[in-house]
Amino acid sequence: AQKVTQAQTEISVVEKEDVTLDCVYETRDTTYYLFWYKQPPSGELVFLIRRNSFDEQNEISGRYSWNFQKSTSSFNFTITASQVVDSAVYFCALSEAGSGTYKYIFGTGTRLKVLA
Amino acid sequence: DAGVTQSPTHLIKTRGQQVTLRCSPKSGHDTVSWYQQALGQGPQFIFQYYEEEERQRGNFPDRFSGHQFPNYSSELNVNALLLGDSALYLCASSRLAGVVDTQYFGPGTRLTVL
């Protein structure tokens, strides 16, 4: 069965601190995709990154970086030098391509509060 | 380039009523998916539409139905509303229904059932 676990319900950091959001997934499929989305108070889910199961290279985009490790079924997200504008709920999602299903399975989200 | 749009923004209904939510996909997208997000939870997949047909459905009762129009826009209908249907309803659009394409989400419709 497919499942995404975001064990951290809420994290509070002071501005300029680094913070890592954890994501652990379960799937029996060998071909799958992982995503991170940001949900600010306005409610819209903002796409951040997409990763396929065959690409374990870590990725960096500005202050954001992602660490994908198939051995531990984890896809963690790090924000370096956090800013107040990073305050939001962050969701990790999984989609299995091999089973003919294209729905996304989301975790329960991690609420990040960055304090000035 | 307009993103995914949804209407209305907010809606208040009473138990037993019916509601219709609307979604226009991002330009160039032909596939629309609907999700329900209860307070404090992650979005839950309701169904996906492609070529005006329901391609896949999540674990939602038949009270939830949808439609896709030739211009790729979509509607979500919920009949016999229950208090538990109160949630944020998110529409997402993507291209190429045959692959796992990135889904782009709209701002959502917040439905309150009294």
Check whether B92 has a pLDDT greater than 90.
yes
B42 to A4: CB separation less than 8 angstroms, yes or no: yes
Nearest Cα residue in chain B from A44: B107
Nearest Cα residue in chain B from A97: B100
Binning pLDDT at 50, 70 and 90, where does residue A57 land?
A: confident
Q: Is residue B85 helix, strand or coil? A: helix
Nearest Cα residue in chain A from B45: A103
A35 vs B contacts (CB less than 8 Å): 102
B55/A57 Cα distance (integer angstroms): 32
Binning pLDDT at 50, 70 and 90, where does residue B99 land?
A: low
Cis preceding-peptide flag for B43 (omega within 30 of 0): no
B100 to A35: CB separation less than 8 angstroms, yes or no: no
3-state helix, strand, coil in chain A (%, to 5): 5, 55, 40
